[in-house]
Amino acid sequence: MLSKYFTIKKDGGEHEIIIQKSRFIGTVKRVESEEEAQAFIQQMKKKYHDATHNCSAYIIGEHDQIQKANDDGEPSGTAGVPMLEVLKKQNLKDTAVVVTRYFGGIKLGAGGLIRAYGSSTSEAINAVGIMKRQLMKGFKVTIEYTLLGKLENELRNSEHILETINYLENVECIVFVEDGQETAFQDWIIDLTSGQAEIEPIEVKYVEIEVESTKE
């Protein structure tokens, strides 16, 4: 499993731009299989059945094993490939995009089409939002209520992810920690609470963190 990777927000979304009177509607969706990607593309073609073109691209797999692009009637290489290149440049995985075009009467030429489909894809991704999926180790930290204020504040100002607080007989904080930081995290909690915290390892899972850029 990858320690981290980038994708778009789970629910996806769309964004529209106008270029030389043509409408370009970029719709992006997170997909985890080629069947899911194809179903999404067909869904968009049905939704925008009256459009001039519904061009598509997707990239799927831990090592980008599946990469497909479709120009849907635009001149070869002017739509699907530029869209796929944006996904690759943004380091996105498990992402599909459909750019719907309603022709506005002005021809853009090959270069103009490449820029238009690339821009529509980029702007749709930016509008929807990028997520970093970070593989993290979970811990259940159990403390008395008197320690909660201090611990919660420190956790929220740290690089760790405070996912849940369970208010039981004592307080349970469910915290996720980056791979390799487990020992340092436990030492930090012991120090913060003067040894009054009970720390129990739980699951390992991907935690989603919204980011502005895929460049770290």
Mean pLDDT to the nearest integer, 179-193: 94
Whole-number Cα distances in Å, 11 to 109, 129, 131, 170: 34, 10, 11, 36
CA distance 95 to 137: 25
Given a cut of 60, whether residue 216 has pLDDT beyond it is no
How is domain 132-211 classified at the CATH fold level?
A: Alpha-Beta Plaits (3.30.70)
Q: Where are the domains of the chain?
A: 4-128, 132-211
Confidence of residue 143 (pLDDT cuts 50, 70, 90): very high
CA atoms within 13 A on the CB side of 7: 26
Q: For the whole model, what pTM was predicted?
A: 0.85
Looking at residue 33, its pLDDT comes to 96
The tens digit of pLDDT for each residue in 119-134 reads 999 999 999 999 999 9
The tens digit of pLDDT for each residue in 19-73 reads 999 999 999 999 999 999 999 999 999 999 999 999 999 999 999 999 999 999 9
Whole-number Cα distances in Å, 62 to 7, 39, 74: 11, 20, 30
Given a cut of 80, whether residue 215 has pLDDT beyond it is no
CA distance 4 to 6: 7
Q: Which residues pair with 205 in a beta bridge?
A: 136
Average pLDDT value over all residues in the chain: 95
**Residue carrying structure tokens 């001149």:** 75
Looking at residue 54, its pLDDT comes to 98
- Which residues are within 8 A (CB) of 94 and not within 5 positions of it... i.e. 6 or more apart? 7, 30, 31, 32, 59, 60, 61
Confidence of residue 96 (pLDDT cuts 50, 70, 90): very high
Whole-number Cα distances in Å, 161 to 171, 193, 208: 16, 18, 10
- Which residues are within 8 A (CB) of 212 and not within 5 positions of it... i.e. 6 or more apart? 130
Looking at residue 2, its pLDDT comes to 87
Residue 215 · residue 92 · CB < 8 Å: no
CA angle in degrees (0–180, nearest 5) for 211-17-61: 45
Count of positions (residues) in the chain: 216
Looking at residue 31, its pLDDT comes to 97
CATH of domain 4-128: 3.30.230.30
CA distance 97 to 13: 10
CA distance 136 to 215: 20
Backbone angles phi, psi at 43, to 5 degrees: -60, -45
